[in-house]
Every structure is written in structure tokens, then in C-alpha cells.
């Protein structure tokens, strides 16, 4: 059974979109020097509080999400219309997913087309329950590559 949960959190100016099934739990959003714990705190409910920092800082941190589980749109725009204007880049994360940066159209094994912007994490270990996307299974299976 495929879980396709989407949660949205707004500060009035932007809406942060979180897709848990896409999350690879990199912790970049909340932990260490890369994190923004005043907005992203997994020990609280809700764990995303977009009013915790100014909009530009929130956007900066959402864009760091390596899986694309976190995205955003301006409330005065149509969701999903924000595209990246950078060249497409593909990078193999050490012991992790294949990261595709840029605008891509992906067709899954059932023929469903999915348009992704910014960063998309594709499974390299073969263990994901959300193929072709990474779901973080590489960690519990000690994938090396």
C-alpha cells in the first residue's frame, strides 16, 4: 500500500509542503549548523512552524532538502509552479540516493508521470518502498556505494 500523505504549513506569505514518504531523514532541515530548529523541530507537533523565522530564511532552508520532501510555494502563486532555472545536475550521495537537481519529469513503473522541481532523490540501494524515489531504506540496510 502506497502512502501519499502531504502536509502543508503556512506563515501567510508562503506555504511549506512536506511529503513524508519522500523524506530520507537527512536532518539538514533541523539539526546542526545546517538546521533551522526554530522552524523545523521533530520533537514538537506540528514539527514545522513557518512563522519561526523570516520567509527568506525559511525558503533558504527548504531549498536545502536533498530529497525534495520539503518544498514551498508563495501563497499568491499556484502550487508546484515554482521551477528552478539552473542546469540539471545529477549527483550520487555517498552511501545514499542519486540526487537530481533541476526540473525533471519522471515516469514510474506504472506509467504515472511526476514532475519534480529543485531536488529529487532517487533510490540507488534497491530497498525503497517508494521506488523510484528514495525513502531512506539505504540507512537500515547499510547500503554502501
Are 84 and 101 contacting, i.e. CB atoms less than 8 angstroms apart? yes
Are 22 and 69 contacting, i.e. CB atoms less than 8 angstroms apart? yes
HSE of 15 in the Cβ direction (CA atoms, 13 Å)? Answer: 15
Residue of 136, 62, 122 whose CA lies nearest to 90: 122
Highest average pLDDT, of 27-36, 49-58, 61-70, 101-110, comes from 49-58
Q: Please state the pTM of the whole predicted model.
A: 0.62
Rounded to whole angstroms, the Cα distance separating 18 from 62 reads 10
Are 106 and 114 contacting, i.e. CB atoms less than 8 angstroms apart? yes
What is the dihedral sign for C-alpha 94, 25, 16, 122? Answer: positive
Each residue's pLDDT tens digit, 93-114: 899 899 888 888 888 888 888 8
Amino acid at each position: 500500500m502506497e502512502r501519499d500523505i502531504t502536509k502543508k504549513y503556512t506563515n501567510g506569505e508562503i506555504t511549506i509542503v512536506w511529503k513524508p514518504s519522500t523524506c530520507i531523514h537527512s536532518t539538514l532541515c533541523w539539526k546542526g549548523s545546517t538546521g533551522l530548529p526554530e522552524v523545523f523541530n521533530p520533537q514538537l507537533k506540528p514539527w514545522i512552524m513557518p512563522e519561526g523565522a523570516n520567509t527568506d530564511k525559511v525558503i533558504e532552508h527548504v531549498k536545502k532538502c536533498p530529497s525534495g520532501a520539503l518544498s514551498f510555494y508563495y501563497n499568491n502563486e499556484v502550487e508546484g509552479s515554482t521551477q528552478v532555472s539552473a542546469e540539471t545536475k545529477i549527483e550520487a550521495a555517498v552511501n545514499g540516493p542519486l540526487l537530481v537537481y533541476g526540473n525533471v519529469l519522471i515516469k514510474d513503473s506504472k506509467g504515472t508521470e511526476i514532475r519534480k522541481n529543485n531536488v529529487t532523490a532517487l533510490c540507488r540501494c534497491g530497498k525503497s518502498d517508494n521506488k523510484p524515489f528514495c525513502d531512506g531504506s539505504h540507512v537500515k540496510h547499510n547500503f554502501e556505494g
